[in-house]
Every structure is written in C-alpha cells, then in structure tokens.
Structure 1
C-alpha cells in the first residue's frame, strides 16, 4: 500500500493484487486452526514466522508482534487496496479479519496495568520475567492499536528501552524509529543515530552500514542488505514528509529535528521535489519549505508557534496545529518551539 500512497500508480498493483488476496486466505486458514482467535507462530508446517532474530528469546514471544502486524496489514493496507479496486466484499472481509486479530491480541497480550502489549503475558508466571519487543510496541503506536489510544506508555518504553525490551536488528530498527517520530520523540531518534548507528564499526572503519549490531571483520555482516534506515528516517521522521493522498496529491510536513542545527534535504516525489531546510537551534530556528506546484501541502507545528500561515480548517481543539502550504511557493518561517 505504501507503493500506491507514494506513487498513486494503481495499475502496477494489478498483477500482485490477486496474490495478496490468496495470501490473506492462507492467513485465514492458519487463523482458523490456531485457536484463541490468533495466528499461530509455532507448528505451522514448512513455513516459519520470522519477524526478527534478535528481539525474541522464544518463538512464542513473536505471536503478539505477528498478530498486530497482520491486523495492521489487513485493515490499513489490504482493505484500502480492495476498495481502490472496487471489491467491497473483499474489503469488508479484510477489515473484519484484521479487527478480529487485533481484538484477540488485545485480549491475550494487552496489560491493563502497564497499558502496553507484553509479549509473554500469557506465560508470565511460568517464565518469571516480562518481555517486550520494539516491533509489537511500534506497530501498536503506528496503527493506533492501543485500547483507548493510550500510546504514551508504549512510546516511553520505546524511548527508554528497558532491559526487558527485545530490540530488532538494524534492518528492522525502522519500526521503532517511525513510532518514536509519531510519538514526538525526535530527540531519541537523533540520539540513536549518533550513538548506535554512527558508532558502528563498519561506519568508522569502512563507511558502510553493517547487517547486525555487532559485526566481525571479514564476515558478511560488514555490509547490510537493507542499509537505508538512517536515510529514510531523516525524510519520514525528522523532516516528517509523507503523502496524505495517493501520489502526493496532498502531503504533510511535520518537522522534528531535535537539537540538529541544520538539516537540508530534497524529497523527490512523483509530483516534483519537496525542498526542506531547517537551520538554527531550538528557540531560534529558521525553516524553509517548498512543495511542488500540483501538491497541496500541510505543515504541522507545535501549538505554541505563531506563524503567518492559513490554518487548515476543522482541526482538533488541542495539540499540534496544521497550516496550509501553497503549491509551488517557498515559505520561510521563524520558529521558537519546533
């Protein structure tokens, strides 16, 4: 669905779309056999549930993340894709399946006391210690899966990374950083890039990003197969650029640069480039943005800011404010709180 959101090209999805429906049918068959209304992660035959190889002490600890991920896919990706293809029956089936999975995951893994998902909650007494994972918590934040929209405890856990937290390997680290961006914790993202990514042996010695957090010399781990997390988190998290409608008919820019004194980048969209430049420290920052001529832009800023832009109509009474970015026009703002 991200492909369609970023390109607006539905035609290219006609070939894989039937395969996606078949895969959803396969998941439904597993679900019917799994018990407790959940997709199983053990004893499913030749296929295996991976999710990540660093974040989990036991295979069964992956069940929470797997079900939250599948629920998010069904409701937020497959169902909208079915709607785009005009298949209302399949859309409803995907949405209902996703909601059933989420309900079962909440019933099995949601801790009302801690107000977050605990991977081993059903086996906590036997195992003697709790286990969290960045993937479950990030998915619950990104796709609004926490009951009552209570994302605060999950965001704080993702920011603090307590000892009970299982952390994914570098190629999967994006989920945690995306969720931190949604939760307004760009400070943690920048700290992570400085202290975990920039200090990698492969970065210091070879100017590459390694496959695992610890990489031995002369091994395949010196080069990652998916070394793009710092790059796209700069665009999607720090500059906060994302499509609000397929093909960037509407776009959002939500700057969160923490203590970075300068960040300049250009996001090349299907409608043209979005130019972004942030300079200065918190309290005295200059932001320059330009969106393409046929793109309706929305700028998201702290509610404390005072800027000479037109507010977007019908906003929530509290929280960040949204402003209209005129197509094709460069705007420069002085910011105090963002």
Structure 2
C-alpha cells in the first residue's frame, strides 16, 4: 500500500452541511443560520429500501476467519463522473456507527440514534427501529474520479446504541448529472473492504473510564483518498436481511464548529510555538513527556481532532473532562512515526470544559508536532429565536445558562447529558428539554422523532419502560408538543400507544384505587425518603406520586381521544380519572399534617425485586406528592396555597427536592397563584459555575451538563414573560405576565408563525405598559398582571383583551384605583 503524499491527509472535522452555517457568538453560544426552514429530505427513490431491506443495500466483509473480530471496517468505492452533479442526495446507515468520507473529506457521521432502553430490565431494550441519514450530497462530488470511503464501527462507541445483533453498512445515493439521467449509487459487492484494528475498544481493568486506543500504524495510510491502492482489499458481500425497513431520519444533521480555548495551562513547560489559526485550531510542539490542559470556559459537547507527527510508539492521551480532573471519556493515540502526519478524531463526542493532553514515551529529547488541534463543538442546529432580558442580570444569566444546558443535550436525541448519554428511556429529561427547545429555538423536529421512538419502545415491550414514571411523562411531552406545533397528525399516529399505556397503568391499580401494583416506582427523584433511595422507592413511598402522574395521564389521554374524535374513550378516561382522584384524596390526605402522605404500607402484592424494595411500616410526607396533588387538582382548590407554602417552608427544602422535580414545583406554584411570591427565591438556588457556564445535575452532586437544569428558562418564558399557547400551534397565545419584582422585561417566544415579541415595564402597584408584537397568523388574549387591570376601553377589570396580529401597546394600572371607596 503506497503512502499518501506528505500533507495530503486533511484535518479531521468539523463536518459541513449545505444550508446550515454555525456561528460562534460573542456570548459563547453557537447559533445556526438556516438558508431555508428545515424540512426533512425524502426517502430513497421508489420508497426503497422496501420491507425486508434489499441485501444489496447492506454490505459487510466476506466470511473469512478473523473477520468476525474486526471492530472497525474500512469500505471504499471509486466512481468516475463525467461532470459534477447538479444535485445529489445520499442515504447512509450502519450497525452501529459510521463516518463517511468523499475524496478524503469527512462529510457525514451517524446514523441517527435508533433508540433503546436499559437492557436486562423489564423490557427487551430495543425500539426495533433503524434510521438512515439523508444528506444533501451535491457538493461532495466533482468531475472525474471520486472515492467514497466509510469507517464503520461495529461496537458501541457511546454507552447506549441499538443494534440488530448483526454488522452492516448501508449506502445509497441519487446524482443528477447535466444532460443525463439520474445516476444511482448503492452499496454492493463491488465495494472493497478491509478489517482494521486501528481502533481498539477499552480493555477491562482498574481504570473506571479506560481510554479508547487508536493505533495509527494499524490504519492504512491514505485509504480515504483516490490515490490509495485498494487491490489487496476484499470484495464485499451482501450483509443479509437482518434489518427492518429503514426510516429516514427527520432531524437535521448536527452542526459542528471548532471552539476556541480560553486558556492553555502548561505547568511542566513542555509547550513550544503555540499558535492559533483563524478557525481556532491550535498548532504547537510538545518537546517531551508531560501534560498540558486547555480550559474552554464553558461546557461543550464535542469531538476532539488533531493532526500530529512524532516518533513511533509515542503516546498522547486525550482526556475530555468537565473539570480539572479526569473525565468519563478519553482516547490514547499511539503514533506511527510515519513521514506523513497521523490524523485522529475521537469517534465519540462528550461533554468537556477541559481538554487534558498527556504525552508519554517520548523521553526528554524527542517531541511531537501538532499542526492542527481542535475541539469540535456539535449540537442539533438551532437558531437563537427566543430571547430574554430584564433588570435583574442574575435572571438573564440563568436564562442563557439554561439555553446552553439544553443545546448541548440536543444531539440525535435529547440526552440526559453529553457526559452520561443515557438511552431514550429518559422522557423525564426530554420533557423539560423539549419545552426549553420550543422556547429558546422553536425547534420541533427532535421532539417529534423522540416521541415516535419512545412510542415504538413501548409498543414493542408491552408498554413497559425501565423508568416506569417516565412513560407517563412521554405522554405529557406529546401534549406539550401538540400545544406548541399544532401537529394533529402525530397525535393521531401515536394515539393507539397512548391507549395501551393507560391500560397498562390502569391494570396496576390496587383495590384501594391507587397505583399500588406497579412492578416498581422508578424514577421519583434523586432524594432519600424514609431511609429509601427514591431513584427506586418501595410502594409505600412510590404509590402517591405515581398515582398523581397517572391521573394527569388519564386527563391527557382524554384530550387525545377528543382530538381523534373518540368521544366514548374520552369519557372513559375522564371517569377513571375522577375515580382515581377520589381514591387519592381518601387514602393519602392527612388532616393532621395538612399534606398528602406518600402511600400506604403493605398495599402492594408485588414481591420485592432489585428495583422494588420491600415495604416497611412507615408514613412519609415527601414534597413530591403534595406538589403533584396541587398541580393536577387532586387537592381542593382552597388547599393549594397552604400546601405549597408548607412544602417550601420545610427546613430541609429544597434538599428534599432536586432540580429535576423543581420543574413540577414551579408549575404547582403558578397553579396555586404563588409564583410571584415564592418562585424567584427558589430559582436563585441555581448557581452558575463560572468554569462551565451551567448549573449542576443535583444541588451538590452529578454532572455539569444535565438538560433538566434548563427548567428556569421554561419558567421565565412561560411565567415571568408570561407567554403560553391557548390554541394548538399558537394560533392563539395567552399573555399573562408575572412581574416577580422585576421593573422591566423584554423577550421573544418562537411560534410556527414567527416570534412573539413582548416587553413590559411595571412600577410598584403595578403600573406600566405592555408592548406586544404578534406575527401574522397569531392572535392573543392578554391578561393583566396580578393586582392590575388593562386600562383599555370596554375591558372589564381583570378581564383579558383579544388582539390580532400586529403591534400593540396596553397601559396597565393598579386594580385598587378602580375599586369603590
């Protein structure tokens, strides 16, 4: 295999996609400019691949001894084009991961997450889905010889990734050439393949997070380029009919951009000739063994790529970390000693605020030259359509920190965090993240695909999921999605799974009417109640909160039934909700405590298991059950304020209620009419870490990149700014500002029709003005803030005014001025 010419290996990523231009903002954010509103690309011609995908679309190595051990397979196909294509679309997939190159340039990575649950629990773990990534490929090809190359990883390179249990690579493309019929390219046995071991999965050992090993000398030099001689490579074979019909991923491809470090720390003095290029890549020389650190000033979700030259056997460890210490993910690059640079990029991405580089095996006389080092930020492409500013800079900073926390979790699914990267069994995280995504970015596509994947997971696993309570939050997420998008079609499509889910939970009602026969009560919160870890509490603690979520689920199911025109089913769910609500009050209300108990001991007949501790004869009163009783009107309206004041007045609050569940606490405060009075002080518990720009997963523990920490943005947008959809898709908005002691606010809320721009100024009283711009297609009911009226002709005190699209100014005066003496 002849080596490529010196310097011919291109630097690794970022991948560039036509029509999507990421931009690094002065505030450190990364916003994307869209040439046109995102619309999913079509499926392959003739709706191919058909059911039982054609084996010619999927290829793999021939059955030669030793091939089954390959964790990475390199594929190549050389084609000749008489002219550059006028248009081209490609569809790519793999089991499990791929990186695709055309003419040596990285053009796509994937495929989109197929979704899986935690294996080995109540479920089989898989959605049964597989996606192909559609890509606009017009600028990939040129006139003359072109080489398509793919690097396929058959093992996991992240914690969770669904698999059929078989290995394969899928490629199909349609090219429109000038003056010629469209050309079709397909993965077929004419492609060449090579089983490689240049990436080696981390071995088991004492290191809790062992690095991924990259052996540069084991990778064929220049194999991505047209000049490479692949005659010694093997012809491919059809991979078989192991995959279901591929779904075309609807989400836009992630955008990538090199992110600049804020500081380089060279404690050992080994760095020489440090320079930064215009695209923020670094070049430097490390003159001997030692360690340097790059600090980025905020948490990123990123790959790390470099081009490096040094003596054979030198090792460069890359540690991606959220802190000054070691992180969860790392890579160990062993250099080849070739004349040409070794080109490496982490196939995984991870959260990082620090990148630590440690060079070993070079001694003191040798060194390495790194002529390109880049941390490649990535996220779902988002425009910063939402905005918030006010006279309290702490609230404004919290809004921005919340936006960033969710953006880095928006990948090909809503992650719990780019540090943990748990599977799609986390709709509790996705519920909060999708609300923030609607308010900060107006981005619906990720939520839509997540909803469909989790529905498939439930459908294939008897409506069971690892996190039992999160299945009901999936339904809440579906309702929120419909409110923000008006997408009736998805609700109709998923309605059968809604019925199955509620039937499953209804079967878990005990004789007393509570949900006491569930297989477990995962996940309540990261707190301890009555000596039990409430990640998976016993029935005596889990009954109350799960029954409350079930009651909300019944109300949601009734709404879905009404939307689909099923009046009988809607009435069935409403009646069942009323029965369950009555049982909730009868069994759980404690007049002596003025709160709701968590459950009743020994009511469950389900035997203890790994995730279901045995009951004890205890009575506990967590803030969770009482909060949900208020939020879902399981408590009488006259009790709401007293209950919520008691919840927040507890001496151990909020330690008994972590950031995840504070989403429901804030919603309950608003429902009880106490948001202005009590929410601002609670929001100040979110303390932004200046090194990450984010807050922590839990008050004093966990990662710094958790999406559910974005809760404050949703609360600020929907309560303080005061914008809510009254009709699905924001055909009618509700505007109800809650001043919370602020003097002025200025913000924007995305809708499918454009942004609602709202600003208000209030003096004490309140007295002031609401200024509002509604986009075409949106009308709004504007309500006065508490204690005020809208001083508009013909509007009764306390009543809203209905406004059509356009600009409006509404004076606000104190309600007391209109009261009789």
Q: TM-score range by the shorter chain?
A: 0.7 to 0.9
Whether the aligned pair in 2 keeps the contact of 1:111 and 1:121 (CA below 8 Å) is no
- In 1, Cα distance between the equivalents of 2:620 and 2:759? 43
Whether the aligned pair in 2 keeps the contact of 1:276 and 1:290 (CA below 8 Å) is yes
Task: Give how far 1:213 is off.
Answer: 0.8
Q: Is 2:559 the partner of 1:80?
A: yes
| 3-state SS of 2:740 partner | coil
- In 1, Cα distance between the equivalents of 2:752 and 2:694? 29
- In 1, Cα distance between the equivalents of 2:794 and 2:698? 45
Whether the aligned pair in 1 keeps the contact of 2:726 and 2:733 (CA below 8 Å) is yes
| 3-state SS of 2:587 partner | helix
Task: Name the counterpart of 2:801.
Answer: 323
Q: How does 1:272-283 map to 2 (within 5 A)?
A: 272-283=754-765
Task: Name the counterpart of 1:90.
Answer: 569
Q: How does 1:38-49 map to 2 (within 5 A)?
A: 38-40=514-516, 44-45=518-519, 48-49=521-522
Number of residue-to-residue matches in the alignment: 316
| 3-state SS of 2:734 partner | strand
Whether the aligned pair in 2 keeps the contact of 1:243 and 1:252 (CA below 8 Å) is yes
Higher strand share: 2
Task: Give how far 1:114 is off.
Answer: 5.1
Q: How does 1:66-215 map to 2 (within 5 A)?
A: 66-75=546-555, 77-113=556-592, 115-119=594-598, 127=618, 131-133=621-623, 135-147=624-636, 149-163=638-652, 167-182=656-671, 183-194=673-684, 196-197=685-686, 199-200=687-688, 203-215=689-701
- In 2, Cα distance between the equivalents of 1:325 and 1:158? 38
> Among 708, 711, 715, which residue is 1:229 paired with?
711
Q: 1:306 to 1:225 in 2, by over 3 A?
A: closer
Task: Name the counterpart of 2:468.
Answer: none
Whether the aligned pair in 2 keeps the contact of 1:186 and 1:257 (CA below 8 Å) is yes
Task: Name the counterpart of 2:735.
Answer: 253
> For each residue in 1:183-221, what CA deviation from the matched residue of structure 2 results, as whole angstroms up to 9, or x when unmatched?
233232222222x01x25xx3332112211113xxxx52
- In 1, Cα distance between the equivalents of 2:795 and 2:639? 26
Structure 1 residue runs without a partner (length 5+): none
Task: Name the counterpart of 1:56.
Answer: 529
Q: Is 2:512 the partner of 1:36?
A: yes
Q: 1:186 to 1:22 in 2, by over 3 A?
A: same
Shift >6 Å, 4+ stretches = none
TM norm structure 2:
0.36
- In 1, Cα distance between the equivalents of 2:511 and 2:807? 56
Q: 1:290 to 1:161 in 2, by over 3 A?
A: farther
Higher helix share: 1
> Among 268, 286, 298, which residue is 2:781 paired with?
298
> For each residue in 1:85-107, what CA deviation from the matched residue of structure 2 results, as whole angstroms up to 9, or x when unmatched?
11223212222222221111111
Whether the aligned pair in 2 keeps the contact of 1:310 and 1:324 (CA below 8 Å) is no
Q: 1:51 to 1:16 in 2, by over 3 A?
A: farther
Task: Give how far 1:121 is off.
Answer: 7.3
| 3-state SS of 2:788 partner | coil
Task: Give how far 1:21 is off.
Answer: 1.1
Task: Give how far 1:146 is off.
Answer: 1.4
- In 2, Cα distance between the equivalents of 1:142 and 1:232? 16
Q: Which moved more, 1:162-171 or 1:18-27?
A: 162-171
| 3-state SS of 2:484 partner | helix
- In 1, Cα distance between the equivalents of 2:593 and 2:676? 23
- In 2, Cα distance between the equivalents of 1:302 and 1:268? 22
Task: Give how far 1:144 is off.
Answer: 2.1
Q: 1:101 to 1:289 in 2, by over 3 A?
A: same
TM norm structure 1:
0.82
Q: Is 2:746 the partner of 1:264?
A: yes
> Among 791, 795, 799, which residue is 1:308 paired with?
791
Task: Give how far 1:52 is off.
Answer: 1.7
> For each residue in 1:222-276, what CA deviation from the matched residue of structure 2 results, as whole angstroms up to 9, or x when unmatched?
2213232011101112122111222222221111121123322111112332212
- In 1, Cα distance between the equivalents of 2:521 and 2:647? 27
Q: 1:230 to 1:121 in 2, by over 3 A?
A: same
| 3-state SS of 1:14 partner | helix
Task: Give how far 1:175 is off.
Answer: 0.7
- In 2, Cα distance between the equivalents of 1:155 and 1:311? 36
Q: 1:159 to 1:252 in 2, by over 3 A?
A: farther
Task: Give how far 1:299 is off.
Answer: 1.8
Q: 1:337 to 1:221 in 2, by over 3 A?
A: farther
